[in-house]
Chain A
Amino acid sequence: MSAITRPVLNKKQVEMNHLLHEAPREKHFITGAQAMAEAVKRANVDMAIAYPITPQSEVMHLVGDVFAQGHIKEYYRAEEELGTMSAIAGASRAGIRLFTATSGPGLLRGLEAIVSWPGHRVPAVLGILTRVVNAPLSIQPDNIEMAYMMHCGAVMLHAENQQDTFDFTLAAFAIAEKVDVYIPVAVATEGFFVTHAKGYVNMMSEDLVYKEFDPVASPVPAMDNETPPARIQRDAPVQKSNFMSYLIHSVWQQEIWDSNSRAMKYIYEYLGGPIEVQNPGSDVMILASGCAAAQAREAHRYAQEDGLSVGFVKVRAIRPFPRDEIREALKTAKTVIVPEHNIIGWLCTEVKAAIPNGGIVHEGPRVFGGMTLPVELIMFEIYEALGIEHKMKL
């Protein structure tokens, strides 16, 4: 028995739209890790399960404090990430709201369990605070791990900064729990660059919380022997025979990807849409997600100062991928530049596949291993694309 007792808090439960769009906000200067924990504090989370890995640890330390302060009902450190992610899957069957977070190698260690969450219809929220995947070892931000997450059916949001991290994490709970979605939502942002750096975050009062998890409002009832319709599992079709199992697996997975598409309308409702566009119709468009979007935004500003025909697209949702929106935004572009924090250029590949004229998409610039992404690197590509003389050397 713990000697520390936790206070019982009495908070006002409200709808997500009220929290995000109506409740008055105050400006704070906090880190990305704090922003994520502050969102969890207001999300009325029932249980959080933690396992340390840099740079994520800071988030789950703070979530532990949030638990100790009485904002969360249950919290523990699990044995490792596969145990963590499996425990989330187990706890979810009881019909509760869940949160956990990890980074690079931790995500990959937990991946077998995580990629099963959509199929299990686990509406949990997962923080991904990006980090290099070995080898060689580095603990620095590189978002290569997101590529491994993209094919499991989960919704994936990519936060540019501390404010995004706060808003996306909070909205993630509402999106995940919609009856016509009901799959996990991952909120990714760059380790260190966002998690350990401070930025301005407008936050509503912590006396407000998102309304309580409703175990009845679910496409698959909780396995609690309480929530109707009765789920007495006899003759479980998935286990019955290989013939049944491949049929069921295929229709079930189709439904998961349909659920993933249906999340898009809620991304509009809560976050104003999957992309942000500035200067559409420009010859050169810089398109980026996460922390790279902050650098791309800066390059866009430089280009405006120089009076260049350059526009900017920030991608908030990686899954569902905003194919139609991106097509529209890049319709008249002659060149698309996709700065990224990984070696394979997963966003670049996605964009190429989304538009009819993929040839206009430029490979890079990319940094990896956790290096910073200098704005000059993007400017170099802009000058090259526009055939402008410059003295920049790479």
Chain B
Amino acid sequence: MIEKTIIRADVFAKATGAAMYADDLLFDAMLYVKTVMSSKSHAEIESIDCSEALAVPGVVAVLTAKDVQGKLCNPTERPILALDTVRYIGDGVALVIAESLAAAKRGMKKVKVNYLELPAVYDTEEALTDGAPIIHGTSNEACHWKVRKGNLAEGFAAADIVLEQDFTTQRVYHGHMETEICIAEPTPQGVNIYCPGKAPFYARQPVADALNIGLNQVRAIQPVVGGSFGAKGTDAGIIAARAAIAAKHTGRICKIIYSREESMVECTKRHPFKLRYKIGAKKDGTITAMEIYGLVDAGAYTSETKRTTARSCVEATGPYVIPNVMTDIIGVYTNTVSNDAMRGYGSPQVDACSEQIMDELAIKLGMDPVLLRRLNGLKEGSLSATSQVMTGVSLDECIDKLVEKFDWYERKERIAKSKKHGDKVRGLGMACMYRGEAMGAGAIDTAGVNIHVEKDASVKIYAGLNEVGQGGHTMLASVACLVLGISDKRISVARVDSAYVPDSGPTVASRGTVLAGNACQRAAEQIKEKLAILVAGNFKVKPEDLSFANEKIFITDNPEVSMSFEKAVQACYNAGKNVYGFGWWCAPDSWMDPDGGSCEPYFSYVYGACATEVEVDLVTGKTEVLAFAAAHDVGHALNVMEVENQICGGVSMGIGYALTEEILMINGRVDNPNFRWYVTPTAVDYGEIIPIIVEKPSKFGPLGAKGLGEPATSIVAPAILNAIRDAIGTRIYQMPASLEKVATAISANKGGKA
């Protein structure tokens, strides 16, 4: 298999400061829009007085929900602006439009909203009790997914050991470096929106709904995107709709840019989970049963809660063969900031817990944690928790490579010999995963790519899937290079513009490589076929006798007979043919059974295994990740360097999730809406990251490739938490494992193993 590392085309502009992000775009006579956010967790809006705000010099208009002619939102979804009820501190209430950002800010402070406060609920368990304030409809239950397999009672009866444990995972923030932003430009029939995000086509819908116009009148033009990680989806749609309303109202170009604080208060987060795990196993380590019950905080609106919790329910057992399973994952509304997709959505939460209970089981059985996972791990043809027959399973390959490259057993021996270093103790931990590829059951999972080969044989790729910074567009160039046997120097990839590219859904669910990559491969293969027919005629051979490589088309059995790619393209044009390809790819069927019966919720799965060595300071409770190794099966690494760097970035985000990151809420208010108190990892906060590429070609992906973005983060936290347990002899069940929690655990454990 050919492996290539091509340099991303977008990095030259990014390295010189020339790349144009939304905030860098220059328009004349632009207006600025600020959102007045609810200061109440749950309240009815009695009245909104805009008069003082309108009197602020520079303020052009103040708009409320009543000024929106079209639809504000679907039921249970977050409105563009709240009409009569606010459901969390951050809900948009009014828009202040002004000649300058400063005037808009001044006006924002002068909008007077009279609220009739309603009782609020901030906790998922409380929200499900009788008499709790109801946030939507008649119940706070947003959704309830089930998985049922075998007979749970028999499974636990057959066990020699049963463990039961509660866990919680915290609410975290994407931390995209570029905050939410949109510029809306009114056009005679509609609006153009410059709104960086993961889902430019989705963002058009709330705009069209709010303005009562067709999607064909909303043109989404993507500037360079400064990071997503699952953010800039739902939020981008809402912000785009607000900017569009302002633009249509004033007839001028309107810009909304969020401050970091606004981003952290209003915009969506990762769902916090409360999970109870019960696991039964034989003395030899064979797992007999698993029971999982989870409450998921949806926040005030549905957003991506259903899809996130469905994924959690499917993946809750971890990558193991469990004959008897009962899983219930319930989404619950609370009066807190809405939760949505964030890198891995639904996987990291259950992975954190399933991999800790596995670790605990290994300790209780006195078994090597690697061996326990190998013993129970999914194999080719195994039945998953939803009784899906698993194919393309690569868990063992990931574990093998991890153990080898991380020197797992050597490290273990070394730590056993010298565990304590002054006031610090060391520990080792590991974790494994499987994860459904792409969006899964119930989603429209399709993508399209156009490729134009110009007369000079330069190539332009127009993809419907957005580049959010991850390198997805370079992946497309790699696919086209490999199919057509040409240099990446010929290729450029256009940024998404809904006027010219097919709707390919969002850049989420690690679906970019599989979905858009496949579409790109098909488009490139159409071009290849067109060129092959022409060249074959020239050489008097059959098209299938030809190969494409090194910028040439040649007879496979007689490489001396060749034509350059460039000449072939020109000959095609001269013959009156086009050199154009359009590829469309639709994910294979997937479905979920609402009653928990057997189903195939994802068409394919990816596998991974991670391990880490940590050092815990017994005085301060600080955990330092000394080394972290992450093995991921990517099927076929289309760009080795980018794959490795994607793993490093994912590990970094996972380290933050494990140790420091947490959105703190006090009575529904975000208490740390800034990077001073919301602590993401910096360059000095951890040691070496060792990315390990495993390649077991997928039968679904382009040239065998699989998605990676989210797997890279999914099992970082449990590996670290298991290593902390190994180091100090106590487990942290409530993430993150902050200094305070670890120090408390050490203190409680004095005289113990540490």
**A and B found bound together:** no
